[in-house]
Amino acid sequence: KAGVTQTPRYLIKTRGQQVTLSCSPISGHRSVSWYQQTPGQGLQFLFEYFSETQRNKGNFPGRFSGRQFSNSRSEMNVSTLELGDSALYLCASSLNGVPYEQYFGPGTRLTVT
């Protein structure tokens, strides 16, 4: 089976712009989670989608949003980018979410200038 894919892999944006990241989960997986990883804050949970519904949400401002499509592909959007949004954004797919294991994509490296 193909693994989790994320596009684009690298992105450079300017402060104030918005960005959309995409994640294609492993075939048959219904849960997709998003994480932000930075050197200072480590891995932080953004949200989880299951069968097109947001099931869990982390402590991030409303500028961070996401959605999941009927084919389980997911997108994450960040509006009004700030310098602090520079991070590695990781997507993970799981058969059904907790308590099953997650499989991670390679990540999207976002740099905000």
Interface ranges with another protein (CB under 8 A):
4, 33, 42-43, 45, 48, 55-56, 88, 90, 92, 97-107, 109
Q: Taking the complex as a whole, how short is the minimal distance between the CB of residue 110 and another protein, in angstroms? A: 13
CA-based torsion, 87, 112, 8, 56: positive or negative: positive
Three-state secondary structure call for residue 82: coil
Q: Taking the complex as a whole, how short is the minimal distance between the CB of residue 82 and another protein, in angstroms? A: 22
DSSP single-letter state for residue 26: P
* Residue whose CB is less far from another protein, 5 or 20: 5
48 and 32 in contact (C-beta within 8 Å)?
yes
Q: Taking the complex as a whole, how short is the minimal distance between the CB of residue 11 and another protein, in angstroms? A: 14
* Residue whose CB is less far from another protein, 44 or 65: 44
Q: Taking the complex as a whole, how short is the minimal distance between the CB of residue 77 and another protein, in angstroms? A: 20
* Residue whose CB is less far from another protein, 7 or 15: 7
Residue 30's φ and ψ, nearest 5 degrees, are -105, -15
* Residue whose CB is less far from another protein, 42 or 62: 42
Q: Which residues of 90-101 are buried (b: 16+ CB within 10 A; e: fewer)?
A: bbbbbeebeeee
